[in-house]
Copies of this chain bind each other. A is one copy, B any other.
Amino acid sequence: MSEPAERGVMTEPAERGVMTEPADRPPALAIDIGGTKMAVGLVEFGGRVAAYDRISTPNGDGVDAEGLWRTLESLLGKLVADAGNPPLAGVGVGCGGPMTWPDAEVSPLNIPAWRAFPLRERLRARYAGLPVRVHNDAICVAVGEHWRGAGRGRDNVLGMVVSTGVGGGLVLNGHLIDGASGNAGHIGHVVVDPEGPPCVCGGRGCLEAIARGPGLVAWAQSEGWRPGQADATGVDLADDARRGHPVAESAMRRAGRALGIAIASATHLCDLETVAIGGGLSQAGAMLFDPLEEALRRHARMEFARQVQVVPASLGQTSGLIGAAALIFAGDRYWNAD
């Protein structure tokens, strides 16, 4: 089986030329930690998720840092035991930000129990002798899509997650870009309208302020949209847009246009080939992608920028786990730290 995506400098024999069978090398233990769910998996070199488990992230008043850690530990222990305690290639983790990087003292915005929690140190102690690598969850999604998904075989890819927030990760010249502090890829805070709505970051007119699910819902409600339930999300809004609700349609156009403008800017700055968009809101399909394309083509006018392609992410819900595994399996491209 030939592997077109596996060009460039290779450090591991199994990545050269013909791919070995997944069974030839141990799987990576992969972890994806967000405010809503914690997912764990055993991911093979080929990208297959051979074992998988997930729980809702414990997030009530009684949850403390150590309790949350023990929950994660037991989730991991059960996964590995159920798989017959195989040898592991390493432990790769995507976790909600912010965090220090690469040391990964994590303070996920939506997990109040962890503030400067030493996640990498704990995992290193628990899995002594194995490489442990932690990165931002949106970066892991982007890495997953580059390694085994919609960005495969391209050297210049922006991976995006459009959901409750808008995040991303940047692969340029074939390598993950970390930036000064591991925070490169924050496409959600590219400015698309300098006088636009205030953003949670403290700025104004960021892509995220306009295109995040809760932002869209708030805007639609202010324009007269009345959702069926109190805790309506961007996905409900997209459903109503498909049913022809004019305010819901306008909201999706508004999001699509903001995405198109931000992608045009990113394409001009980084000379991107492919932008892969995942996350709940991306499932709105043409309702979102048509106005996105229209705005992108209006603003991405330099000859080279016209070549960029925007595609849906292809790995689905496990993209973050697969990207976390890539931090281990393809560290030459995705891990630029100790």
**Which residue numbers of A lie inside 8 Å of B, CB to CB?**
98, 154-156, 170, 172-173, 175, 177-194, 199, 201-206, 257, 261, 264-266, 268-273, 295, 298-305, 307, 336
8 CB contacts below 8 A, A to B, read A172-B177, A173-B177, A183-B302, A186-B305, A189-B264, A194-B261, A201-B302, A203-B301
**Chain B residues whose CB sits within 8 angstroms of the CB of A178 once the complex forms:** 173, 271
How many copies of this chain sit in the oligomeric assembly?
A: 2
CB distance from A310 to the nearest CB of B (A): 14
Q: Assess whether B194 is in contact with A299, with CB atoms less than 8 Å apart.
A: yes
Among A181, A185, A299: residue with most chain B CB under 10 A: A299
Main secondary structure of the interface of A (DSSP, over half): loop
Known: A181-B307, A189-B305, A192-B194. A170 touches B270 (CB 8 A): yes
Q: Would A298 and B184 be within 8 Å (CB), given that A265-B265, A270-B269 are in contact? A: no
13 more A-B contacts (CB under 8 A) besides A173-B175, A186-B305?
A154-B180, A155-B180, A177-B177, A177-B271, A178-B271, A179-B271, A180-B304, A185-B271, A186-B271, A191-B192, A194-B299, A199-B301, A203-B264
With beta carbons under 8 angstroms apart, the residue of B194, B203, B273, B300 that contacts A300 is: B203
Whether A301 contacts B184 in the complex (CB less than 8 A), given A265-B190, A271-B178, comes out as no
Closest to A303 in B: B98
Report whether B266 and A183 are in contact in the complex, using a CB–CB cutoff of 8 Å: no
Q: Hey, which chain B residues are within 8 Å of A172, CB to CB?
A: 172, 177, 179, 184
Which residues from chain B contact A305 at a C-beta distance below 8 Å? 183, 186, 189
